[in-house]
Chain A
Amino acid sequence: MIEVQHVTKRYGPVAAVDDVSFRVEAGQILGFLGPNGAGKTTTMRVLTGYLPPTEGTATIAGFDVLEEPIEVKRRTGYLPESPPLYPDMTVREYLTFIARINRLPAAERPSRIDRVMERTSVGDVADRHCSKLSKGYRQRVGLAQAILHNPDVLILDEPTAGLDPKQIIETRELIKELAGDHTIILSTHILPEVAQTCERVVIINKGRVVAEDSPDNLTGRLHGAVTIQLQVDTLGADPTGTLQAVPGVASVNVGEPGSDGRTVEVQSAQDVDVRRDIANAVVSNGWGLLEMRRARLSLEEIFLQLTTAEDEAGEETSAPDEETEEPAPATESADE
């Protein structure tokens, strides 16, 4: 449905997007992930025909964005980073205008607008001026605008920015619902969002794609070494030596004793499950094993790894695959 091939966008000598390629199948949700300034918005603007690419081609539903921009725009709904509302119009007037410029037949407009307002739950502000809307409503009116003409492709630039937690959940649900009939690209720098809504993730940094896969695979691919977090009551003793002696343990990191025992982080060697032995070691010493869990690398950490690995590599950027297969270095925290 969407095909991006070697797209580069330069502003003078600076490449905001550098040789980006990916494709999205019909009905899929693709998450576009990257830190601020990574080139997400620029890529999306190329796809919507707002910016022409310096090099490369992008096609939507088989139409080239440069050759047949009107055909592309007819099939694309776009929510820019800041919702493009006219402050002097009411929500209903605004959506009517959108319906007109998208050539929705006059007879269908009112019912279509009502339906979309209901879906995006902006019905209660239908007659309020756009300038008077809160950030959450602005964002949802922007979304209503994007889906009004029932486009094949939805391009959403940070659709949940500025929403409160309840609205974020509603918006994600809505996006998932839309995915059946629409092909969706959404950008975000919030990682759980990608894990929850997207089937595929493209991680982009400094204008380059550093990884492309499903969220599960991305987390899986980096699971060479495993970190295990323990909460142990060692009765004042230092568990370092004991744990180090367990076969398969690569390193041990002991925290200060607290009221609820010590926090210990044990890193195992590649592909060895050391949990049983650790538990035995703790118990045979007469210590209390209060908690043990496997710190799963969250997308957040993968993301940090990928984007910082890029930094260290500097100019001699290696192929994305090599980077993602580097063993995971110790992580400071694992919230998930």
Chain B
Amino acid sequence: MSNILAIAHRELRSYFVSPIAYVVVGLFALLYGYFYVASLAFMVQFSSQAGMFGGGPQTVNVNEFMIRPLLSNTAIILLFILPFLTARAYAEEKRSGTIELLLTSPLSDMEIILGKFFGAFALFLLMLAVTAVHMGILFWYGEPELGSILTGYLGLALMGGSFIALGLLVSSATRNQVVAGVGTFSLLLLFWVLSWMSDSAGPTAGAILSYLSILEHFDDFSKGVIDTAHVTYYLSFIAFGLFLTAKSVDSERWRG
């Protein structure tokens, strides 16, 4: 456990001494802010349109008209940003030769992988923490439902964890950060758009495709519903991703 923490701490530190943490958190805040304003404008417009028929603007459900689309958009932002957070995880260690240090230190492969996972995950949680400001404003002026917001964030955390696990896997297979970033992004995109095929793919294949789609499972979270099936999906995705990363690191060893 202390080994995992040591690695995670080093990872997190290295995000902050390089521009990565600032660029990623900053750009995420910018994009999130834009979608926040856009969703807010949409909600205000909707509420005044609804009021055209009755007397004045109507109160609309903030959770349904504002937070749900906002969270869905956040999921997409993460899909674009997180691959570049994990790209360096293994690729950089291999390029600089420090992987030789880690693999000859008394650490198990899994400790290294989990350390890297939690390091990236901690930065990701920090990204999400920035949005507490936006949510606070909603609470100041409106009455959103806290439970379903927290559920949405739980969903984001699980989904982000899956993105990170996949990112680690791809990064462990290359020594080039660009390849790792683009590779992860393409795979995530594929996992997302799988569901688009599900309608035309026939009942069985369609169900499988939509089950595999990584964003499909987020939908219920954004509505404020915790379904253990989705939690299980994400947790298995993470576990499987980390397991394959371990295999990838080990196979590298045998190939030399």
Contact = CB atoms under 8 A, between A and B. Distances in A.
Contacts of A102: 105-106
Given A52-B253, A84-B98, A86-B10, A103 B2 contact: yes
Interface of A: 9, 11, 45, 48-52, 70, 73-74, 76, 78, 80, 82, 84-89, 97-98, 100-103, 145
Contacts of B100: 45, 50, 78, 80, 84
Contacts of B7: 101
A76 B254 contact: no
Interface of B: 2-3, 6-7, 10, 13-14, 17-18, 96-108, 253-256
B253 A50 contact: yes
Contacts of A49: 103-104
Contacts of A74: 106
B105 A88 contact: no
Q: In terms of DSSP, what is the predominant structure of the interface of chain B? A: helix
A51 B255 CA distance: 9
26 contacts: A45-B100, A48-B104, A49-B103, A50-B104, A51-B256, A52-B254, A70-B107, A74-B106, A78-B100, A80-B100, A84-B98, A84-B99, A85-B96, A86-B96, A87-B96, A88-B17, A89-B10, A89-B13, A89-B17, A98-B101, A98-B105, A100-B2, A100-B6, A101-B105, A101-B106, A145-B101
A197 to B, nearest CB: 23
Given A11-B256, A50-B253, A78 B98 contact: no
Nearest to A72: B106
Contacts of B14: 86, 88-89
B105 A73 contact: yes
Contact of B108 (A70, A97, A145): A70
A86 B106 contact: no
A85 B97 CA distance: 8
A96 to B, nearest CB: 9
A24 to B, nearest CB: 18
A84 B101 contact: yes
B17 A85 contact: no
Nearest to A42: B256
Contacts of B253: 50-52
